[in-house]
Structure 1
Amino acid sequence: MKTLRLLLFLPGLGALAWGAVLFAEYAFPLRADVFGTLGWLAGGPLVHDLLIAPLVGVVGLALSSVLSDRWKTPVKTGAVLTGVLTLLAVPLLWRPFGGATNPGLHDADTGTGLLVTLGVVWLGVLVAGTRNAIRGLNAKKGHA
């Protein structure tokens, strides 16, 4: 097990070192935009650790205490997919032309696309949860 950990640790350490080299090439000589970059590099983990992670934890605990067992997995899956899809859409929602220019890729309405996709995800949650609930009712009838 220690050998496996070492084999996983060494490439990670190499990637970290390479990232530090690339950042040093970008950052020196110091310019005004470097400080903005440092703000993003420090601010992202802080926002995640102090705001997003506790919020997700509280919502997860609340859902686990409210939902029945048959609905927990579909709702948790829908919540995770909602979070991932929203994170992927944030750069284009935040700044409409934040991505590279590529005709046909970024010329769509990102907000509408996200809402439609989330609607499909939660429709799937509704179908899966209803299916699980019906299976549970049928199982109770069969054993009664």
Structure 2
Amino acid sequence: MKTGRILLALPGLAALAYGIVLFLDYAVPAWPDSLTTVLWIGGGPIVNDAVFAPATAVIGLLAARFLPKPWRVPVQIGAVLTAVLVFVAFPLLWRPYGVPPKPGLHDGNTWLGLLLTLAAVWAAVLLASIVRFVRISRRAAQKIRPRAAR
């Protein structure tokens, strides 16, 4: 098992090393200006670990504690998807033209796109929760009915 894990880790470590070499090739010649790039690269994981992950964990714990069973998993999945979508959209929401423009990236309204996507996610959460509730209710009703009535 250890050999398999090592073989799986080697390509990832090689890609990481190559990424570090590429970054150093970019950052060293332009050092004072590349400090903002270092902050930008490190800022994503820090914001994720300090804001999004704890908020998602709290929502998941509250959902597990207070929501009825059919609603728990869909709401937890919706919370995780919401965190991921907000995390991905965050750079364009914070500074709309803070990144180099790519064709199609700045063509739309980022806020509207995010809100419509979140509405679709939470509509799916609602639908999945209702389907789960109906299934559980039917199973419970079938168990309660006496055998003669079936």
Q: TM-score range by the shorter chain?
A: 0.7 to 0.9
Is 1:92–1:110's contact at 8 Å kept on the other side of the alignment?
Answer: yes
CA RMSD after TM alignment: 1.9
Is 1:70–1:129's contact at 8 Å kept on the other side of the alignment?
Answer: yes
The runs of at least 4 aligned residues of structure 1 exceeding 4 Å deviation read none
Is 2:56–2:80's contact at 8 Å kept on the other side of the alignment?
Answer: no
Which ranges in structure 1 are unaligned for 5 or more consecutive residues?
A: none
Q: Which has the higher mean CA deviation after the structures are superposed, 76-85 or 107-116?
A: 76-85
Query: What does 1:36-55 correspond to in 2, within 5 Å?
Result: 36-55=36-55
| Structure of higher CA gyration radius | 2
Q: 2-side partners of 1:41 and 1:105: how far apart?
A: 20
Is 1:92–1:99's contact at 8 Å kept on the other side of the alignment?
Answer: no
Query: What is the TM-score normalised by the length of structure 2?
Result: 0.83
How far 1:126 sits from its partner (Å)?
A: 0.8
Is residue 2:84 matched to residue 1:84? yes
Is 1:99–1:106's contact at 8 Å kept on the other side of the alignment?
Answer: no
Q: 1-side partners of 2:138 and 2:84: how far apart?
A: 34
Q: What CA deviation, in whole Å up to 9, does each residue of 1:86-106 have, x standing for no partner? A: 22222222222335241x553
Match of 1:3 in 2: 3
Residues paired across the two proteins, number: 143
Q: 2-side partners of 1:117 and 1:109: how far apart?
A: 12
Is residue 2:115 matched to residue 1:100? no
% identical equivalent positions: 47
Is 2:70–2:132's contact at 8 Å kept on the other side of the alignment?
Answer: yes
Match of 1:12 in 2: 12
Which ranges in structure 2 are unaligned for 5 or more consecutive residues?
A: 145-150
- Paired letter, 1:100: P
Match of 2:147 in 1: none
**Structure 2 SS opposite 1:65:** helix
Query: What does 1:56-71 correspond to in 2, within 5 Å?
Result: 56-71=56-71
Q: What CA deviation, in whole Å up to 9, does each residue of 1:60-107 have, x standing for no partner? A: 1111111122111211121122122222222222222335241x5531
Q: 2-side partners of 1:101 and 1:47: how far apart?
A: 24
Residues 1:87 and 1:49: Cα distance change in structure 2 (over 3 Å)? closer
Match of 1:124 in 2: 124
